[in-house]
């Protein structure tokens, strides 16, 4: 990320209500992470430990811990003597995440098609039905939760926990792309239609069809970002 100027846009902090009976660093981390990946805090926004601590009425120590975790996830960039900024969306990191997810989720979908476990098909169908309801309500947050449930079910039901951990890490780089697609295109139902195709391929019992349907679904993120990056979008890091 190019070194930003001190004149970067002021922080737009979410309202974080801290439960004093629970660990503050975890609450700050989760609250800021949610705001960053949903674009409630825009890429390039300057954040300071002091501002966040004041907004939450806590000391800087738990905020510092939360910042460190977000930096490890490449959601924050720290510039010595300048400040901390929400990272821009990195096309290279997104491309790598797409590859990881395409390979792992493609194999998980192929395995599901080969075995066609009734419990898995039922849970994925229920996730699609809940997704349909969220889309019909225009509920973007609910739709995304259903999106994640659809993918998680594919791994959890097949007891592929290590693969899911790798997918979850890769999803971090794609979450903001997902929300950017919705904000730029109003594409709330795109993922739902793709999920229907993945489910149909799994139900058909064809591992290759399931793998291909999942790959097409995952790669949609990369195709969208490539188009938008070419327009020099302010949220996307120049390559």
**What secondary structure does DSSP assign to 196-227, as a single string?**
HHHHHHHHTT-HHHHHHHHHHHHHHHHHHHHH
What are the angstrom distances between the C-alpha of 190 and each of 33, 52, 86, 197? 24, 35, 27, 11
Query: Per DSSP, which regions of the chain are E strands?
Result: 46-47, 76-79, 83-86
Residues 124, 111: Cα–Cα separation, whole Å: 14
pLDDT > 80? residue 118: yes
> Residue 53 and residue 93: Cα distance in Å, rounded?
30
Q: Is the dihedral of CA 75, 146, 120, 194 positive or negative?
A: negative
Report the pLDDT value the prediction gives residue 229, as an integer from 0 to 100. 76
* Residue 3's pLDDT band (cuts 50, 70, 90): low
Question: What is the band of 1 on the pLDDT scale with cuts at 50, 70, 90?
Answer: low
Greater confidence, 153 or 2?
153
Tokens at 67, concatenated: 């910042």
């Amino acid at each position: 990320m190019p070194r930003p100027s001190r004149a970067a846009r002021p922080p737009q902090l979410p309202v974080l209500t801290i439960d004093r009976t629970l660990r503050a660093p975890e609450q700050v981390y989760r609250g800021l992470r949610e705001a960053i990946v949903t674009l409630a805090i825009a890429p390039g926004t300057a954040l300071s430990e002091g501002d966040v601590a004041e907004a939450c009425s806590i000391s800087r120590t738990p905020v510092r811990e939360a910042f460190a975790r977000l930096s490890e996830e490449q959601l924050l960039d720290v510039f010595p003597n300048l400040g901390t900024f929400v990272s821009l969306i990195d096309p290279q990191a997104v491309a790598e995440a797409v590859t990881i997810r395409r390979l792992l989720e493609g194999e998980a979908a192929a395995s599901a098609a080969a075995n066609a476990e009734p419990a898995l098909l039922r849970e994925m169908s229920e996730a699609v039905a809940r997704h349909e309801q969220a889309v019909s309500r225009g509920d973007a947050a609910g739709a995304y939760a259903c999106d994640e449930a659809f993918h998680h079910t594919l791994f959890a039901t097949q007891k592929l926990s290590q693969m899911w951990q790798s997918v979850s890490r890769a999803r971090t780089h794609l979450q903001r792309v997902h929300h950017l697609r919705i904000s730029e295109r109003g594409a709330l139902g795109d993922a739902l239609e793709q999920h229907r195709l993945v489910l149909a391929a799994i139900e058909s019992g064809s591992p290759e069809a399931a793998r291909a349907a999942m790959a097409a679904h995952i790669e949609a993120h990369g195709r969208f970002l490539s188009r938008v990056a070419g327009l020099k979008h302010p949220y996307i890091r120049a390559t």
